[in-house]
Amino acid sequence: MNEQASISLSDRPDRLMTEQEAASMLCYSVRALQNWRHRGGGPRFVKVSARSIRYRASDLLDWIEARTVAHTSEIT
């Protein structure tokens, strides 16, 4: 993620992001996000309509933070 993107995330943590933007931020594919939504375990999302999914920047950052560990013995 470039510096400009991180500035806008901190300025607007509740900004809604598209699947493509969220996938890019997490360095995963859109398909991975779709699988997580179906199976569970992924970041929280907003279902705008039957065919429109968005992610809050703050939810993505929270999801990343919840998975941050200092060493392998912390992994459960």
Q: From CA 45, how far away is CA 32, in angstroms rounded?
A: 14
Give the distance from CA 20 to its chain's centroid: 10
Supply the pLDDT for residue 47.
95
For tokens 């699947």, name the residue.
19
Q: What is the CATH number for 37?
A: 1.10.10.10
The pTM assigned to this predicted structure is 0.77
Q: Is residue 44 part of a domain?
A: yes
CA of 46: how far to CAs of 1, 19, 76, in Å?
22, 11, 28
Q: Is residue 20 part of a domain?
A: yes
Q: Is residue 7 part of a domain?
A: no
- Enclosing domain of residue 63: 15-70
Q: Is residue 63 part of a domain?
A: yes
Q: Is residue 75 part of a domain?
A: no
Supply the pLDDT for residue 70.
87
Give the count of domains, the chain: 1
For the chain, 76 residues long, give each residue's pLDDT as a single digit of tens.
444 455 456 677 788 999 999 999 999 999 999 999 999 999 999 999 999 999 999 999 999 999 998 888 877 6
Q: From CA 51, how far away is CA 41, in angstroms rounded?
A: 20
Q: Is residue 60 part of a domain?
A: yes
